[in-house]
Structure 1
């Protein structure tokens, strides 16, 4: 993250909110039932068949920068994928995720307990 002077700083755990619905699934249900959180849409590899598992189909956002640049060269949504990739670096164990549910008049809060990982064949997918 950047401080007000534009310098990088180590923030430790962060707090963030999540309201997405990956593949139409409710992120609150995923969080409660599977202890997982969704952090943005991944970039799918073009050279891997649709039938392959998620770990082989997804460009790993934790890969080296050179590989990331090569795999996203000319990609239409490159900026959004890169924003998600950069955000993942700051979501560490101890971070807090807030899941708003305005229609219920509620906010759900959970603590991140592990590092980022790609889940192969997730039960909600």
Structure 2
């Protein structure tokens, strides 16, 4: 399984950067280490978790079960996009969602709203009724 995942990631990177597998392993090392900047412009590194050996560990699951005393509950942040203010004027009155076509189907020159949506990389934005009717 580890071999399949490692080469799958390597082939994905090879296609992305248009280089050979040999160059991927030279550039990113066999454990596929990638350095990037976070949102706060801090240097981060991520790498593929590879096992050095497959020796049996007798207490592996016992350690996992006893490591956490409290159960983990994920934090969900569901939000309703229609509760956001209008993207164009900032009004909160009768919000609707304005959808655009895929970029490949948009004829140029497009409306300023469509250009704004392409610039912020969104397919839909919240818009008030007055702005929606003026589009």
Normalised to the residue count of structure 2, the TM-score between the two structures is 0.20
Name which one, 1 or 2, has greater alpha-carbon Rg. Answer: 2
